[in-house]
Amino acid sequence: MPRHHHHVYVIELSRRVLAEPRFLRANPHYLGDKPCVYVGMTGQSPDIRFDKHKAGLKANRFVKEYGLRLMPELYECFNPMPYEAAREMEVELAIGLREDGYAVWQA
């Protein structure tokens, strides 16, 4: 049986990201009471992936510029998982967080 090594992860973004028109357009119903976050998936550990975003390696611009910290309380219970499950969970987690009032970027 193959070892599952894919992870979903959530990164808190600075509220300064709300000055970005693309981010605002993706979150038209955001009320401002929950954090702004980025949701991603990776074959690496979330810690390593966060460091790579911040270093500009295959980075999402919003994470590179506004990423503050990982939010393991929102994703640890799902990891690790197979690749296809991680791809699906990334989308489901982003949708769920947006429904819970978070401003979400998921690419």
Model confidence at 2, pLDDT cuts 50, 70, 90, reads: low
User: CA 99, CA 90: separation in Å to the nearest integer?
Assistant: 14
Q: Is the entire prediction scored with pTM above 0.85?
A: yes
Give the pLDDT score at 9: 98
User: CA 26, CA 56: separation in Å to the nearest integer?
Assistant: 23
- pLDDT, one tens digit per residue, over 35-91 is 999 999 999 999 999 999 999 999 999 999 999 999 999 999 999 999 999 999 999
Structure tokens, 75: 């994703």
42, with CB counted inside 10 A (0-12, 13-18, 19+), is buried
Give the pLDDT score at 3: 78
Return the domain boundaries, the chain: 7-105
- pLDDT, one tens digit per residue, over 14-37 is 999 999 999 999 999 999 999 999
